[in-house]
Chain A
């Protein structure tokens, strides 16, 4: 049979694969988002479809861009901390921590031991909340309501603990340069233990309905595969990289705070598909609970102690001396109105956040305002290879793949 002429609509039917391969002969462009019920996060996909198969994908981000870096560069070092809450609002404390630890690196400060244990405790609670959201929301978007509710109930319990720490469920604003907003409240570990037991029960329930569920496994296995080599080319970190079999976890590889004194494992996957990502996240939640337990035991045994460095550059003097002594009064006034002056220089520090390497690159000219506050957002960088993961897959596979990349709009778009 002769090939139809150029411009003839039947021409596509005779393209590679033959006339009967597929009825949908022409590619269709589909706009998905920026606000779509099956995605959590504000992002737009421009999808080129051949029937239901994804031929190409353009990911358009930026809908939540609000000038994080510009805002930080126009305030004092302390005024940046609440902005970091709004980066990844699922694990705000980890974002606080990343920023404050980088400023401490510039100031060459070492925080007290008690502070470091509380930071690890708070950070792991945050990670737990983040993974619960990711796994729960992934189930919801795959039309499974029940496990989502288990996940969210557990997350609420974790956020109750976070509320005890800092008075807020989500926007923590908890970590300070050289210390913490508060020490642990009275009776924290007594209140935490039954809640953590309940979280473990909920995780077991979650596991029972999801992990071996035929529908769930079929939707996840062999979808969204990203190989180890591609992960490295795209600088992908976190659970997505570990699911591809690379045991990179900054808590182990470049231990900060007191992570080298803790006993925990780094789970890895083998294939790098969505199911591996799910399994890695579930195991990481168990490991976070293990770390939280160790922190509670250690903090109980340690007894009270300072949580702030004794450094007048960053921490305020005690209230009693502010009200009664001239020097401390002046120091308090200067600290509040000007904020700390950070020595000139630059520093980069990456910590292991729930999504991967959360890095801050800070430049100071020695004044009370940062010259540059760069956040290396794991969500943004992990989202870049999404077209590679779903090209050639069904449209429906985009949903779980996007879920397990766990793009958080606040952090991706800054």
Chain B
């Protein structure tokens, strides 16, 4: 456990204690699990607070925990260039309504990353300006990275567009 990581998590808990469900440092990665409804304020705080200054949303992906609820876990990796610090933020959303606030207003990189998660996992991002499939085609049925999508899944043939 690094002192910087402990200080960072303490700083986050001081400001948004009610939003943080769990936090830990394992294998050198600093992680905080937060309530999904608090995503926007927490991320805005992490970006704008001078001592934290996470200017870059490096990565966004999801993990499908099929069989447990809430089923989907969104994993955000932040990087602060000025502080040389990394932070992982995780939030879980349920299967019935997999929807979360979009971070496109905070980081432009969220645009394509959220489109990819929507495409492959079917998780919707509220407030995304242009949420459509990015790697697959419009007519694709289902979301292939969900654990219940079979690896050998077949798709119906589609004709030419025009």
CB distance A232 to B55 under 8 Å? yes
CB distance B75 to A384 under 8 Å? no
A245 CB, min distance to chain B CBs, angstroms: 12
CB distance B145 to A69 under 8 Å? yes
Q: Does A357 contact B (CB under 8 A)?
A: yes
CB distance A357 to B109 under 8 Å? no
Query: A interface vs B, CB < 8 Å?
Result: 61-62, 65, 67, 69-71, 74, 105-106, 108, 230, 232-235, 246, 248, 253-254, 345-348, 350, 357, 359, 361, 363, 371-372, 374, 376, 380-381, 384-385, 413-414
Q: CB-CB < 8 A to B28: which residues of A? A: 105
CB distance B112 to A380 under 8 Å? yes
CB distance A235 to B56 under 8 Å? yes
CB distance A65 to B136 under 8 Å? yes
Query: How distant is the Cα of A226 from the Cα of B92 in the complex, in angstroms?
Result: 35
A244 CB, min distance to chain B CBs, angstroms: 12
Query: How distant is the Cα of A310 from the Cα of B98 in the complex, in angstroms?
Result: 45
Number of A-B contacts (CB under 8 A): 88
CB distance A67 to B58 under 8 Å? no
CB distance B137 to A62 under 8 Å? yes
A347 CB, min distance to chain B CBs, angstroms: 5
Given contacts A62-B135, A350-B58, A414-B135, contact A363 B108 (CB under 8 A): no
Query: How distant is the Cα of A414 from the Cα of B109 in the complex, in angstroms?
Result: 18
Q: Does B93 contact A (CB under 8 A)?
A: no
What does DSSP make chain A's interface, helix, strand, loop or mixed? mixed
Q: CB-CB < 8 A to B144: which residues of A? A: 67, 70
Q: Across the two chains, which residue of chain B brings its CB closest to A60?
A: B134
CB distance A348 to B59 under 8 Å? yes
Pairs across A and B, CB under 8 Å, 28 listed: A62-B134, A62-B137, A65-B136, A67-B151, A69-B120, A69-B145, A70-B145, A70-B151, A105-B27, A234-B108, A235-B56, A246-B81, A345-B26, A345-B27, A346-B31, A347-B29, A348-B77, A348-B86, A357-B58, A361-B75, A361-B77, A372-B61, A376-B58, A381-B109, A381-B112, A384-B111, A384-B112, A385-B108
Query: How distant is the Cα of A258 from the Cα of B152 in the complex, in angstroms?
Result: 42
B158 CB, min distance to chain A CBs, angstroms: 15
Chain B, interface residues (CB within 8 Å), range:
35 or more
Query: How distant is the Cα of A22 from the Cα of B109 in the complex, in angstroms?
Result: 35
CB distance B61 to A361 under 8 Å? yes
Other than the known A69-B145, A253-B84, A345-B27, what 18 A-B pairs have Cβ atoms closer than 8 Å? Answer: A70-B145, A70-B151, A105-B27, A105-B28, A106-B27, A108-B27, A234-B107, A235-B59, A346-B31, A347-B27, A347-B29, A348-B29, A348-B88, A359-B77, A361-B61, A361-B77, A374-B75, A376-B77
Q: Across the two chains, which residue of chain B brings its CB closest to A231?
A: B56
CB distance B107 to A235 under 8 Å? yes
> What 5 A-B pairs are tightest by C-beta distance, nearest first?
A235-B109, A62-B135, A233-B108, A374-B61, A376-B59
Q: Does B40 contact A (CB under 8 A)?
A: no
A302 CB, min distance to chain B CBs, angstroms: 28
Q: Does B123 contact A (CB under 8 A)?
A: no
Q: Does B52 contact A (CB under 8 A)?
A: no
Query: How distant is the Cα of A233 from the Cα of B109 in the complex, in angstroms?
Result: 6
Q: Across the two chains, which residue of chain B brings its CB closest to A236?
A: B109
Q: Does B57 contact A (CB under 8 A)?
A: yes
Q: CB-CB < 8 A to B81: which residues of A? A: 232, 246, 248
Query: How distant is the Cα of A397 from the Cα of B160 in the complex, in angstroms?
Result: 31
Query: How distant is the Cα of A380 from the Cα of B111 in the complex, in angstroms?
Result: 12
Q: CB-CB < 8 A to A62: which residues of B? A: 133-137
Q: Across the two chains, which residue of chain A brings its CB closest to B149?
A: A70
B43 CB, min distance to chain A CBs, angstroms: 14
A165 CB, min distance to chain B CBs, angstroms: 29
CB distance B56 to A232 under 8 Å? yes
Q: Across the two chains, which residue of chain A brings its CB closest to B63?
A: A372
Q: CB-CB < 8 A to A69: which residues of B? A: 120, 145
A20 CB, min distance to chain B CBs, angstroms: 36
CB distance A359 to B27 under 8 Å? no
Enumerate B93-108 residues with CB–CB distance to A below 8 Å: 107-108
Q: CB-CB < 8 A to A232: which residues of B? A: 55-56, 81
Q: Which of A248, A359, A363, A371 contacts B59 (CB 8 A)?
A: A359
Q: Which of B59, B86, B133 has the most CB of A within 10 A?
A: B59
B149 CB, min distance to chain A CBs, angstroms: 8
